Structure 1
Amino acid sequence: MLLRQATMADLPQIESIIRDGRELLAAQAIDQWQGAYPNTAVLVDDIHQGWTVVLEENNEILGTAALIPGEDPTYKQIDGQWLTVQAPYLAIHRVAVSSHHRGHGLAGELFQRLFAQIDHAQNIESIRIDTHPQNMAMQHVIKKNGFTETGMIDLEAAGLKGTKDYAYERLTANVKSVHVVHAEIVK
């Protein structure tokens, strides 16, 4: 398996995987991804920005994610507390794996390869991610891969007014003398 940056040639397979994810969530009565998000324009922009990575084997894309640098507007306000304060981080969004390979640990493999890549990046001290409160499968994958639940975020900045997600953070190998706080989340 190989983790690589996506190209526009990958768009049809990425869209298919996102569509599979949308259908799985709908079948579980989870309203995540049930509107226009993520749409083709978002996926194209991710690729053009150089944010999309794909997990590939034998010319087949098995999984995809957007790895976005800089301050994420949806993460500015949190009902809770991030593990780091004013530390450079990356946000992971739009994680999905192929329905043809679901149940084979691909999401975990995708995360582990992302972490290996991020741990070699300079000045990135944490990774943030969020997911829908009913998306138990993604919550399991996120927690299993070393993320700590830090609170709830509002997705209004992403155009999803009234939608709140669980937020998570994971420190990278690059953490230096950053001020780290300990958050205890009470549900």
Structure 2
Amino acid sequence: MPPPQAPRGAAAAAKLALRDQLLAARRRIPLPQLGDDARATARHLLATEEVRRAATVAAYVSVGREPGTSELLELLREAGKRVLVPLVLPDLDLDWATYEGPASLAPARRGLLEPLTPRLGPEAVATADAVLLPGLAVSSAGDRLGQGGGCYDRALGRVPVGTFTCVLLHDGELGVDVPVEPHDRRVTAAVSAAGVVRLG
């Protein structure tokens, strides 16, 4: 059963404060550790049954201090997966396109790298057998804290129930008391360098 929701204004303010705290902690992670953690996270994900069996995986191109996905994207392609990565639309919804290697990406707004391959439409995420997404923290029940744009909550609303939806995190970002608003969508798992944890 979902936790009681705080009044909208209170939840939004609590999320903002929590984001500031988590982003400050991420800035303190040493750069060599980011690379080591990204490799460990990729190994954990490729070992899960859901990712091993997936024909199509929706993922993302990491930026800044997010858990790194460069190696993960390449390993997914080498494993024969069709990999979808997002493009942010003007209304902050997500479109999707096929990832075909680093050369298929170009700088976009908001400091992101986005695919140059043909757009497949916002509904394309529903074709993914596994969805790997960014976040700043996740509660033990699967409540995810994002960057505040609501992009991934909309995308998750298109994903069939029962699909493996996993947030990539740094150690210490799992089991956080995440404020919940009506539009928030839960995820089924989280992964960090420590391993994969099933939620809910």
Shorter chain as denominator, the TM-score bin is 0.3 to 0.5
TM-score, normalising length: structure 2: 0.33
TM-score, normalising length: structure 1: 0.34
Choose between structure 1 and 2: higher strand proportion: 1
